[in-house]
Every structure is written in structure tokens, then in C-alpha cells.
């Protein structure tokens, strides 16, 4: 036995359909708005970092920087994680101070400089703006880049020795960053080192969070309002359909004179009004057809009864008993119509001899 299907009202089906459509649309809008806000913020940060880094690279004295990386030795400092510290050199302080000026333009940025050692060809950090921090932070002098940075970052830093390079957002052991690398050129046009600027993605993430806080409530309110509107409209649409459904049930029960059009009357006729007119015509045709069928059934019933009687008589008259009875009746009628026999006179018998 087949299971009875679960009945679901049309308005709930409409609500579910529109809810699914709204969810997709509003979800797309929300994701697009948040991603667009994050992308815009990241583009602004990257542009600002690039401009600031190239500006600082121009004000750093390339001869002073080259003298720093070629003449000042590393300073061991077991107290620091890298094992190296900051050198007590005016050259270092001068370059570090020039880098510190970038933090006045772009707060929260962490500028530093680095170079490629001519002896082993490896990248090493030079001066850092973190020298002026309290407490001091960032990379130390001649600390190998490979001890701090990932291979992809080292590759872009190497590219930054020849031209400005922007590293997309990335995450390392120290956090999430966006970085810019730009070269320091000597007066002869050769690269003596580069400036690197790391900027924490906290700002971009905060912009993304603010975008969510601003967009989601608006979209949520609009989503709920539209669903309520759909529910209201679907109820208004379904109400006349329900009246038509009740009318069809009454017509099915034999109430053919019901005025269906009045149930969906509207100042501006629409499809529902046309449907009501169709039901009205259908009811009239069904009533006429039922009347015609009733008359035909009565006529057929009389004809069938007559045929049954004829058949019953025929079944009786065609039996052997009836045939024998009919034959006897015919014989009896024939005898009844035969003439009586003549009377015989009492004269002497002609055969006897005459008397003498």
C-alpha cells in the first residue's frame, strides 16, 4: 500500500522557494561586500607601503649603507633569540633612524633593511627601525634571513634587490603580514641592498570585521522583511485559490447553481477570475450533462424492462411443455369447431330378407 504523501500548503512552498533564492542572493552579496572591503583595504595598504618604502629607499645614503654592511661586524648577544645584537655604530643608528621615519608615515609598519653578502651570496638583515623601540624588536644586525623567513619570502626578498616587489598576504611564525621590498641603488645604479616593510594584517582583518558588522545586520533585516512580504503576498494569492477549491468540492457534491465567479471577484479581472469563469461554465455543462444522462438512464431503464419481459415470455413460449400445451389447445379448438355427425333412422335392415 502506497504511503500517503505529506500535504504542504502552496504558500509554504512559495516561502521555501523564495527563501532558498534569497539565501543564495544575499549570501553572494554578503560575501562580495566583505571580500570587496578586504580587497580595497589591502590595496590601499599595499599602495601606501609601496610609496613609503620607495621613499625611504631614496633617502637612505647608499654609500653609508654599503659601508655599514661591509665594515661593521656582527655583535654576538646570547640574550637575544638570534644570538646577535645591535652594533654600537653611528652608521647603524643613522640608517635605522632613516627607516624609523617610515613608521611616522605608516604606523604599525615594521621597516628594515637587508643585503646580499658578497662572500657567501646569502641574504642578511642590516639596520631595523625596531632598534628605537622600547623594548627593542625586530631583526638584528647580520642575522641570516633564512633563520627568520620562509623560502617564498626569501625568494621575493631576493627579487626586491633588483626592483620593487609586493608579497601577497602570508602567515609565518610571527603572524600574518603583507610585505613590500624595494632596492637601495648606489649612485652608479647598482643595488647595495634593499628596504623591506612588513605590515600586520590586523588592519585588513579589522576592516573585514567592520564590514561584516555593517553588512550582515542590514542584509539580515532585508532578508526577513522580504520573507514576510513573500508570506503576505502568497497568502493573498492562495486565499482565492482556497475558495475555488471549496467551490469545486461543492460542485462535485451537486451544487451546480453556485456562483463561482463571485468567489474570485476583482476590480481588475485576472487569471483567477478567468479560472472562476471556467469553473462556472464547467458547472453549467456538468449540470446539463447530468440532466441529460438522467433522462437517458430512465429511458434505457424502461426499454430494458420491456426487453426483459419479452425475453421472459419468449423463454416460456419456446419450451417443449408450452409447445405441447399449445398443440393440445389447437386440437381442442379444432374439435370444438367440427360439425355434429348425422342422425341414423330406425328402418328395417335392408339386408334382411323381405317378409312374405
Identify any residues that bridge with 84 across adjacent strands, giving them in sequence order.
76
Distance CA 140, CA 157 (A): 17
pLDDT computed for residue 294 by the predictor: 81
- How far is residue 330 CA from its own chain's centroid? 98
Per-residue confidence (pLDDT) for residue 142, from 0 to 100:
96
Cβ–Cβ contacts within 10 Å for residue 166, how many?
A: 16
C-alpha closest to that of 197 among 117, 270, 100: 100
pLDDT at 146: 94
Beta bridge partners of 233: none
Examine residue 135 and say whether the peptide bond preceding it is cis (omega within 30 degrees of 0): yes
Query: Would you tell me which CATH number, out of the four given (3.40.220.10, 3.30.450.20, 3.30.980.10, 3.40.50.1980), belongs to the domain 10-209?
Result: 3.30.450.20
Closest by Cα among 163, 181, 175 to 138 = 175
Q: Euclidean distance between the first and final Cα of the chain, in Å?
A: 122
What are φ and ψ of residue 26, in 5° steps? -70, -35
pLDDT in tens, the chain (356 residues): 556 677 777 778 888 888 899 899 988 898 888 888 888 888 988 999 999 999 999 999 999 999 999 999 999 998 888 899 999 999 999 999 999 999 988 988 999 999 999 999 999 999 999 999 989 998 999 999 999 999 999 999 999 999 999 999 998 888 889 999 999 999 898 999 999 999 998 877 787 788 888 888 888 899 899 889 888 888 877 777 777 778 788 777 877 777 776 666 666 676 767 777 777 788 778 778 877 888 888 888 877 877 777 777 777 777 777 777 777 777 877 777 666 666 555 555 554 555 43
Q: Give the pLDDT score at 201.
A: 87
CB half-sphere exposure, 143, CA atoms < 13 A = 22
- Alpha helices (H) in the chain, listed in sequence order: 10-59, 62-71, 90-105, 151-159, 202-252, 271-317, 320-336
**HEC per residue, 221-256:** HHHHHHHHHHHHHHHHHHHHHHHHHHHHHHHHCCCC
| Among 215, 163, 280, CA closest to 27 | 215
Q: How far, CA to CA in Å, does 165 sit from each of 50, 55, 101, 176?
A: 9, 14, 21, 18
Cα dihedral sign for 209, 215, 221, 224? Answer: negative
Amino acid at each position: 500500500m502506497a504511503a500517503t504523501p505529506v500535504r504542504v500548503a502552496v504558500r509554504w512552498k512559495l516561502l521555501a522557494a523564495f527563501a532558498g533564492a534569497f539565501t543564495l542572493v544575499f549570501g553572494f552579496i554578503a560575501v562580495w561586500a566583505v571580500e570587496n572591503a578586504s580587497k580595497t583595504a589591502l590595496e590601499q595598504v599595499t599602495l601606501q607601503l609601496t610609496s613609503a618604502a620607495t621613499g625611504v629607499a631614496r633617502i637612505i645614503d647608499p654609500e653609508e649603507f654599503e659601508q655599514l654592511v661591509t665594515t661593521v661586524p656582527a655583535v654576538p648577544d646570547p640574550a637575544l633569540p638570534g644570538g646577535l645584537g645591535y652594533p654600537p655604530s653611528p652608521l647603524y643608528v643613522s640608517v635605522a633612524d632613516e627607516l624609523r621615519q617610515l613608521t611616522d608615515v605608516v604606523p604599525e609598519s615594521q621597516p628594515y633593511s637587508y643585503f646580499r653578502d658578497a662572500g657567501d651570496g646569502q641574504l642578511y638583515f642590516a639596520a631595523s627601525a625596531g632598534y628605537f623601540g622600547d623594548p627593542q624588536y625586530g631583526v638584528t644586525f647580520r642575522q641570516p634571513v633564512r633563520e627568520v623567513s620562509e623560502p617564498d619570502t626569501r625568494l621575493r626578498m631576493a627579487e626586491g634587490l633588483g626592483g620593487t616587489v609586493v608579497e601577497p598576504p602570508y602567515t609565518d611564525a610571527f603572524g600574518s603580514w603583507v610585505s613590500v621590498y624595494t632596492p637601495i641603488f648606489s649612485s652608479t645604479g647598482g643595488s647595495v641592498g634593499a628596504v623591506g616593510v612588513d605590515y600586520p594584517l590586523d588592519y585588513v582583518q579589522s576592516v573585514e570585521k567592520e564590514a561584516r558588522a555593517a553588512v550582515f545586520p542590514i542584509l539580515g533585516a532585508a532578508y526577513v522583511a522580504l520573507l514576510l512580504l513573500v508570506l503576505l503576498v502568497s497568502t493573498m494569492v492562495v486565499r482565492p485559490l482556497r475558495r475555488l477549491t471549496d467551490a469545486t468540492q461543492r460542485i462535485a457534491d451537486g451544487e451546480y447553481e453556485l456562483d463561482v465567479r463571485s468567489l474570485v471577484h476583482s476590480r481588475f479581472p485576472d487569471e483567477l477570475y478567468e479560472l472562476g469563469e471556467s469553473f462556472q461554465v464547467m458547472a453549467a455543462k456538468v449540470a446539463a450533462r447530468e440532466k441529460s444522462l438522467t433522462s437517458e438512464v430512465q429511458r434505457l431503464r424502461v426499454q430494458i424492462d420491456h426487453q426483459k419481459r419479452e425475453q421472459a415470455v419468449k423463454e416460456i413460449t419456446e419450451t417443449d411443455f408450452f409447445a405441447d400445451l399449445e398443440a393440445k389447445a389447437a386440437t381442442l379448438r379444432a374439435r370444438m369447431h367440427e360439425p355434429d355427425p348425422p342422425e341414423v333412422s330406425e328402418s328395417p335392415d335392408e339386408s334382411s330378407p323381405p317378409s312374405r
